[in-house]
């Protein structure tokens, strides 16, 4: 009997979830049913209250003794904090993600041992030393106003609390033992759900002499194949596959083969299907592309110091090596740039990240020996690395959508309050975290960087009816970034006064009185920045870096908002994740159309047939068409302008995706040159669309095509085939 009820409920959930397009309210219906199912499942193991859930997970060996003791000592107070009705804030996709991936499960039965609110409170308790602290963080999380990154959600309070999202490893030294040592480090870091960025710039290029054996090197590709296999072998606790991004500086002589690593044609022995690729691009290269000059490619063995230089020092050394004829070969800079663009268009990979902008403005690079050699897996972290130090970052993101006041803009006080709490708890993760390698621990304790980001910017724009490319959107987005930076820095200064500066504070630009926005003309002129600068001069800072805008793919799903700073990709789309496929519909658009009596089956079919675009759908008013453009329909220049305007307040970087439905080399080369000139430090994926698509099955078929006569067809081919409507 129970089994039948459960099966019926599961079916009802799936039905409701699949009908979210007809009415987005179905998402909450499905979520509520799922919450019941979760509660029943947990009850099967005797879990009803928070303290029971921690007792059960502790008995199953999943959480720390100290957490179990803390919860047992404060059981009544903590049980009163956990509020199941907060589950009502979840959309179905969010709750489903929590259920499938985050709730702790019994090792044998695989049944969940905690409810969603138990999970959030457990995460909060894992980072707290008092009930009041736990209540403060839980309050933010249960209102979905702030969420720490996935590793912290996975592991807070766990027996191995690996809380960090990102690890950045310097290139292995150019020797066999160093390379194999790096594989081991990557595997250990990957195992505990960290994303890996690793440079390979120091490793000699193809054809280079190997003195020990008098043979010639096969270059970096075979090494990266091994890395590829190693990364794929590491399964992050069954939750997701390992993932890594390899960075290569643009002057490395193997750069062309590097750019082909993700192609799905050609010799498979020279392909890496699991690695992501990023270009670490010096300004000198971009200048030569602009001027249409030659570019020299070097074997790092011949120019070992190049990767440790940036700015003028790099330019001088690079040119001197050219004059000495040390290069392996020269090619037109534009030829290589064109290949980089081609890789972006064909694979979305080969991200453009800019070495000089990254180093010039970083708080960590005050001393010449401290150099940023790469960014991370998602291109939002920029921290110095060396053989002895693996950079680490702990992340969390503020949900801007949760800080909207009804129809009246953002609640700035509340936003500042959220940032203060978030920074304190992010700082706390540095001390509580388990570090899989000594190099990671060494770096994190010295620099204490954190990465506070945002999500739900698109929700804010929709709610306030600001098109992404409007001047008011740019103004608001920049103000958000500035407010967050001010509050974060101020909190870090308070923390420094309470608990001391981070140990390498004297090596930072802040110690010399320069804060990140000071690198940008006019960005820190207000009295608030003057006051902050004066405060920092006496207190110092607890954290060397504080702001980074991560992609937030999973936590934005949990929070039910749009990802980080991204525009929507479609008004109707499907999310593919490890736990299945889920329909998402733009609920702001639906509400607007419902209010105007336009949300009909015919309208839904028309929007689906148009792939989630409303631009050519008859009957949609122009104001809505402008507001509800998708990422494919917005000028990408606007996304870059928004990113550039907030860059002064982002002391690390931003995971900035760019979108182009049908990329060409011409459009891409113009776009990325503009991004570089705008002062962006990094860019992320280039997203494009498949050339053909699946036939739609659930939309009423469009009837047989209007007849095209042979004469029309001939005319069409002879004139301009690209704009001929008879063929479209």
Judge whether 716 counts as a catalytic residue: no
Judge whether 380 counts as a catalytic residue: yes
Instruction: Write a three-state SS string for 490-547.
Output: HHHHHHHHHHCCCCCHHHCCHHHCCCHHHHCCCCCCCHHHHHHHHHHHHHCCCCCCCE
- Least Å distance between CB 218 and other proteins? 22
Backbone angles phi, psi at 391, to 5 degrees: -70, 145
**Please, what is the angle between helix 283-291 and helix 333-347, to 10°?**
110
CB 551 within 8 A of CB 457: no
34 vs 125, which CB is nearer to other proteins? Answer: 34
HSE, CB side, 13 Å, CA atoms: give it for residue 316. 5
The CA distance from 103 to 151, in Å, is: 13
- Least Å distance between CB 251 and other proteins? 18
- Least Å distance between CB 50 and other proteins? 27
- Least Å distance between CB 202 and other proteins? 27
Residue with structure tokens 């199953």? 60
- Least Å distance between CB 41 and other proteins? 15
Catalytic residue among 41, 114, 260, 380: 380
Catalytic residue among 378, 393, 561, 564: 378
Instruction: Tally DSSP H helices, then E strands, for the chain.
Output: 28, 18
CB 546 within 8 A of CB 494: no
Supply 613's token pair. Answer: 């675009």
The CA distance from 620 to 319, in Å, is: 58
- Least Å distance between CB 447 and other proteins? 25
340 vs 410, which CB is nearer to other proteins? Answer: 340
31 vs 515, which CB is nearer to other proteins? Answer: 31
The SS3 assignment for 278 reads strand
The CA distance from 100 to 442, in Å, is: 34
Count other C-beta atoms under 10 Å from residue 458's C-beta: 24
Judge whether 378 counts as a catalytic residue: yes
> If you count them, how many residues does the chain have?
728
The CA distance from 255 to 30, in Å, is: 49
- Least Å distance between CB 603 and other proteins? 15
Please give the angle made by the CA atoms of 272, 269 and 244, to the nearest 5 degrees.
Answer: 15
CB 253 within 8 A of CB 261: no
418 vs 570, which CB is nearer to other proteins? Answer: 570
- Least Å distance between CB 572 and other proteins? 5
**What is the C-alpha end-to-end distance of the chain, expressed in Å?**
55
147 vs 430, which CB is nearer to other proteins? Answer: 147
The CA distance from 301 to 204, in Å, is: 5
Backbone Cα Rg of the chain: 26
282 vs 300, which CB is nearer to other proteins? Answer: 282
- Least Å distance between CB 633 and other proteins? 13
Please give the angle made by the CA atoms of 205, 195 and 449, to the nearest 5 degrees.
Answer: 100
Catalytic residue among 349, 359, 363, 376: 376
Paired residues of 108 in beta bridges: none
Q: What are the C-alpha distances in Å from 628 to residues 27, 143, 401, 443, 632?
A: 21, 27, 17, 44, 11
CB 104 within 8 A of CB 63: yes
Residue numbers annotated as active site: 376, 378, 380
């Amino acid at each position: 009997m129970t089994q039948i009820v459960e099966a019926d409920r599961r079916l009802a959930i799936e039905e409701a979830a699949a009908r979210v397009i007809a009415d987005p309210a179905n998402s909450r219906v499905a979520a509520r049913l799922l919450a019941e199912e979760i509660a029943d499942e947990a009850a099967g193991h005797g879990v009803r209250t928070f303290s029971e859930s921690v007792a059960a997970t502790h008995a199953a060996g999943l959480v720390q003794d100290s957490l179990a003791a803390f919860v047992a000592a404060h059981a009544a107070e903590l049980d009163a904090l956990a509020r199941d009705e907060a589950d009502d804030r979840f959309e179905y996709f969010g709750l489903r993600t929590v259920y499938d991936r985050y709730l702790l499960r019994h090792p044998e039965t695989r049944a969940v041992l905690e409810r969603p609110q138990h999970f959030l409170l457990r995460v909060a308790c894992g980072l707290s030393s008092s009930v009041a602290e736990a209540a403060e963080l839980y309050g933010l999380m249960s209102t979905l106003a702030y969420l720490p990154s996935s590793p912290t959600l996975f592991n807070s309070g766990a027996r191995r609390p690996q809380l960090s999202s990102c690890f950045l490893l310097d290139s292995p030294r150019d020797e066999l033992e160093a390379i194999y040592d790096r594989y081991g480090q990557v595997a250990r870091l990957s195992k505990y759900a960290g994303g890996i960025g690793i440079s390979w710039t120091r490793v000699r290029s193809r054809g280079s002499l190997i003195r020990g054996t008098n043979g010639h090197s096969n270059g970096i590709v075979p090494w990266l194949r091994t890395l590829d296999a190693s990364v794929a072998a590491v399964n992050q606790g069954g939750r997701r596959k390992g993932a890594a991004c390899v960075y290569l500086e643009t002057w490395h002589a193997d750069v062309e083969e590097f750019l082909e690593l993700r192609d799905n044609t050609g010799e498979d022995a020279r392909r890496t299907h699991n690695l992501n690729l990023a270009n670490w691009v010096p300004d000198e290269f971009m200048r030569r592309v602009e001027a249409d000059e030659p570019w020299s490619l070097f074997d790092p063995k011949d120019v070992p110091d190049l990767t440790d230089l940036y700015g003028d020092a790099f330019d001088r050394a690079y040119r001197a090596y050219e004059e000495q004829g040390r290069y392996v070969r020269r090619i037109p800079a534009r030829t290589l740039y064109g290949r980089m663009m081609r890789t972006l268009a064909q694979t979305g990979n080969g991200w453009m990240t800019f070495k000089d902008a990254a180093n010039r403005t970083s708080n960590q690079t005050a001393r010449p020996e401290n150099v940023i050699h790469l960014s991370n897996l998602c291109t939002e972290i920029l921290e110095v690395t060396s053989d002895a130090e693996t950079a680490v970052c702990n992340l969390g993101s503020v949900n801007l959508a949760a800080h909207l006041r009804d129809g009246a803009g953002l609640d700035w006080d509340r936003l500042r309050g959220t940032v203060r709490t978030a920074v304190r708890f992010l700082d706390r993760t540095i001390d509580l975290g388990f570090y899989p390698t000594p190099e990671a621990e060494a770096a994190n304790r010295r620099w204490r960087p954190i990465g506070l980001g945002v999500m739900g910017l698109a929700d804010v724009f929709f709610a306030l009816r600001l098109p992404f490319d409007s001047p008011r959107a740019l103004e608001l987005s920049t103000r958000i970034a500035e407010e967050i930076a001010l509050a974060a820095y101020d909190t870090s200064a308070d923390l420094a006064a309470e608990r001391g500066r981070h140990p390498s504070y004297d090596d930072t630009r802040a110690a010399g009185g320069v804060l990140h926005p000071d690198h940008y003309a006019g960005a820190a002129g207000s009295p608030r920045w003057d006051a902050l600068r004066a405060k920092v001069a006496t207190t110092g800072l607890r954290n060397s870096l504080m702001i980074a805008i991560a992609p937030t793919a999973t936590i934005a799903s949990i929070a039910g908002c749009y990802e980080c700073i991204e525009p929507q990709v479609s008004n109707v789309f499907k999310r593919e994740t490890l736990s299945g496929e889920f329909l998402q519909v733009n609920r702001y658009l639906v509400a607007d159309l419902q209010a105007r009596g336009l949300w009909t089956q015919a309208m839904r079919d028309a929007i689906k047939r148009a792939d989630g675009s409303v631009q050519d759908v008859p009957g949609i008013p122009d104001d809505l068409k402008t507001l509800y453009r998708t990422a494919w329909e917005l000028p990408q220049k606007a996304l870059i302008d928004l990113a550039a305007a907030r860059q002064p307040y982002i002391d690390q970087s931003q995971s900035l995706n760019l979108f182009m439905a049908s990329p060409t080399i011409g459009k891409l080369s113009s776009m990325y040159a503009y991004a570089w000139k705008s002062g962006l430090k990094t860019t992320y994926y280039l997203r494009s669309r498949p050339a053909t698509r699946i036939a739609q099955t659930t939309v009423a078929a469009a009837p047989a095509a209007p007849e095209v006569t042979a004469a029309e067809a001939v005319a069409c081919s002879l004139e301009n085939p690209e704009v001929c409507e008879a063929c479209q």
